Amino acid sequence: MKLIYEKSSPGRRASTLPSYDVPDVEVPHELAREEPPRLPEISEPELVRHFTELSTRTFGVDTGFYPLGSCTMKHNPRVNERVVNLPGFRDLHPLQEAEGSQGALELMWRLQNDLAEVAGLPAVSLQPAAGSQGELTGLMLMRAYFADRGEQRHKVIVADTAHGTNPASVTMAGFELQKVETDERGNIDVAHLREMVDNDTAGLMLTNPSTLGLFDEHIEEIAAIFHEAGGLLYYDGANLNAVCGISRPGDMGFDIVHFNLHKTFSQPHGGGGPGGGPIAVRDRLEPFLPVPAIVRDGDDFHLDYDRPKSIGKVRGYCGPFGVFVRSYAYIRSYGPGLREMSEAAVLNANYLLARLKEAYDLPFDRLCMHEFVLSARTLKKEHGITALDVAKRLMDYGFHPPTIYFPLIVPEALMIEPTETEAKETLDAFADAMIEIAREAAGSPDLIKDAPHERPVRRVDEVKAAKRAVVKYGFEDHPNLSAEHAEPRELEAQKGA
């Protein structure tokens, strides 16, 4: 398929613009643009066809089953798209006076309360733009909290099963990373943890249930270790979809929690974003939250910037407001029954696990929470079929592959998260396909090695992409990569989560 730039024809355009009877204004010569940008020149029909064709070459939750582990690819209710486009939300300026934005402020205040209730913690800031920014914000809070107490604590402990964002955030917040291992049941190795924690430890970042889809059975003991040592516990909410109304991070002993509104609360993932990463904290951390705070005063709502201990701002304005509208609508459509969402997610995951545990290796044989991790280790050893191969073959059966090669401690990992919005028939069809692929591995491995067969492209050359680094269209100087010889190779690296 051609790039939009390759469909461009000089003088064509889709736009019509107003022109007013006012004098022209000249830009000072030294500041004026010399060469116009080579944006597409295309008619509206061709523009619409172009993006429609791109959409048909994209697989979304609307297309089919998308069990990408740790990403919570649930159905996105369309009513949320309707309400977010109400002019009162869509066309509201973020610097509008409080009297002119009472509805927006009230919505955010209500969402804060609902999130506080789900977290079991009293204070919320909606501002962070995504989960990883929520992490960074939480770590900044830790810094500010200890600095305020006159304590020098520079280490943060992260589990070896953690998402890559955790260690990356630790570095960006200026802390030093320490890694704690996982024990043979898939919990944190408490003995190892105990050895590591000292007066230098600022805190622990933990995903619970973990990226293995397992609830840490020693969470109370872990919390006690940190709180006795004066450290703080950070809850990575990537997997919160498992435990809403069932177990609250605040009750588990966590001091700071981030939510992923695009996972748990159904903001559509948009091909990579937007997200939303609000954080909830204990009282003693509230003074450090980003400004402005959204506060209620009688029947009025306003923004409070007078927070002398605040870390400042982590994003413009109050955060990704449109994401808040959708998430608030989502929560209100469940009401107190939010627990049923998590129950269905956990039931679906366990059902799928039960159907698949004979055909694939199961590194930790326990009931799972909302997701589980299998391994293609035996398929690889006996038939040379890797997790990547299984993923590609699943495409031929009409499914989006699960997350693969993550978590890192499981070789040939396949991390599967069905979510609560899938019917049993879909789960069965997926299980049948996975089992069939395991059979094919023995009988016709080439069929798998050559997969996918029915997608717009076959396996792509990741090595060439990285080596050539062609990251924009070059117009008349654009290289012809098809003419360059290569040994097509996809890297066995984490895909998903």
Partner 1 sequence: MLAAVGVSSIEELFRDIPEGVRFRGDLQIEPALSEQELVKHLEELAAKNAHTGAELSFLGAGIYDHYVPAVVDAVLQRGELLTAYTPYQPEMSQGVLQAIFEYQTAICELTGMEVSNASGYDGATVAADACYVAKHVTGRSKVVLAEALGPQVRQVVKTYAPGFGLEVVEVPHRAGATDPDELGEAARDAACVIFQQPNFFGVLEPAPDLAAAANEVGALPIAHVDPLSLGVLEAPGAYGAALAIGEGQAAGNYQAYGGPHYGFIASRADYVRRMPGRIVGETTDVDGKRAFVLTLQTREQHIRREKATSNITTNQTLLALAGLVYLSWLGPQGLREVGETCMGIAAYAKERLGLPLLFPDQTTFKEFAVRVGRPAEEVIRDARGKGVHPGYSLKRDFAGMEDALLVSVTEKRTPADIDRLAEVLAP
Footprint of partner 1 on residues 385-424 (CB under 8 A)?
Answer: 391-392, 395, 400-401, 403, 406, 424
Residues 281-310 that bind partner 1 (CB under 8 A): 290
The distance of closest approach from Cβ of residue 298 to partner 1 in the complex, given in angstroms and rounded to an integer, is 15
Give whichever of 176 and 382 is closer to partner 1, judged by the CB atom: 176
Q: Which helix (H) or strand (E) holds 462?
A: helix 462-468
Instruction: Tell me which stretch binds partner 1 (CB under 8 A): 229-237, 346-354, 378-386, 413-421.
Output: 346-354
Options 367, 432, 439, 442; binder of partner 1; rule CB under 8 A? 367
Give whichever of 381 and 463 is closer to partner 1, judged by the CB atom: 463
The distance of closest approach from Cβ of residue 375 to partner 1 in the complex, given in angstroms and rounded to an integer, is 19
Options 19, 228, 306, 477; binder of partner 1; rule CB under 8 A? 19
Options 107, 257, 356, 433; binder of partner 1; rule CB under 8 A? 107
DSSP secondary structure string for all residues of 225-259: HHHHTT-EEEEEETTGGGTTTT--HHHHT-SEEEE
Per CB under 8 A, 492 contacts partner 1? no
Cα 432 to Cα 225: distance, rounded to the nearest angstrom:
45
Instruction: Tell me which stretch binds partner 1 (CB under 8 A): 199-207, 227-235, 351-359, 413-421.
Output: 351-359
Amino acid at 195: E
Residues 43-62 that bind partner 1 (CB under 8 A): 44, 47-48, 50-62
Give whichever of 192 and 355 is closer to partner 1, judged by the CB atom: 355
Report the relative pairing of strands 201-207 and 155-159 from DSSP bridges: parallel
Residue ranges in 264-337 assigned as alpha helix (H): 321-334
Closest CA to 411 of 432, 452, 381: 381
Options 270, 384, 436, 492; binder of partner 1; rule CB under 8 A? 270
Instruction: Tell me which stretch binds partner 1 (CB under 8 A): 198-206, 225-233, 280-288, 462-470.
Output: 462-470
Report the relative pairing of strands 176-180 and 201-207 from DSSP bridges: unpaired
Options 192, 302, 307, 339; binder of partner 1; rule CB under 8 A? 339
Per CB under 8 A, 439 contacts partner 1? no
Options 49, 154, 195, 333; binder of partner 1; rule CB under 8 A? 333
The distance of closest approach from Cβ of residue 19 to partner 1 in the complex, given in angstroms and rounded to an integer, is 7
Give whichever of 382 and 454 is closer to partner 1, judged by the CB atom: 454
Cα 259 to Cα 235: distance, rounded to the nearest angstrom:
9
Per CB under 8 A, 169 contacts partner 1? yes
Options 429, 435, 447, 465; binder of partner 1; rule CB under 8 A? 465
Residues 170-189 that bind partner 1 (CB under 8 A): 170-174, 177
Options 319, 360, 416, 422; binder of partner 1; rule CB under 8 A? 319
Cα 319 to Cα 290: distance, rounded to the nearest angstrom:
11
Instruction: Tell me which stretch binds partner 1 (CB under 8 A): 188-196, 413-421, 432-440, 457-465.
Output: 457-465
The distance of closest approach from Cβ of residue 225 to partner 1 in the complex, given in angstroms and rounded to an integer, is 15
Own/partner pairs for 35-44, CB < 8 Å, 24+ apart?
38/5, 38/8, 38/475, 40/4, 40/5, 40/7, 40/8, 41/8, 41/9, 41/10, 41/11, 41/12, 41/13, 42/4, 42/7, 42/8, 42/9, 42/12, 42/13, 42/14, 43/12, 43/13, 43/14, 44/14
Options 101, 125, 210, 386; binder of partner 1; rule CB under 8 A? 101
Per CB under 8 A, 384 contacts partner 1? no
Closest CA to 374 of 388, 355, 360, 384: 360
Residue recorded with tokens 């748990």: 264
Options 259, 320, 413, 440; binder of partner 1; rule CB under 8 A? 320
Structure-derived torsion over alpha carbons of residues 243, 246, 251, 253, reported in degrees to the nearest 10 = -30
Cβ-based neighbour number of residue 141 at 10 Å: 27
Instruction: Tell me which stretch binds partner 1 (CB under 8 A): 229-237, 335-343, 371-379, 410-418.
Output: 335-343
CA distances from 244 to 110, 250, 278, 339 (A): 17, 12, 16, 5
Per CB under 8 A, 379 contacts partner 1? no
Is the Cα torsion angle 371, 377, 383, 387 positive or negative in sign? positive
Closest CA to 289 of 260, 314, 252, 264: 314
Residues 231-250 that bind partner 1 (CB under 8 A): 243-248
Phi (first) and psi of residue 364, to 5 degrees: -130, 105
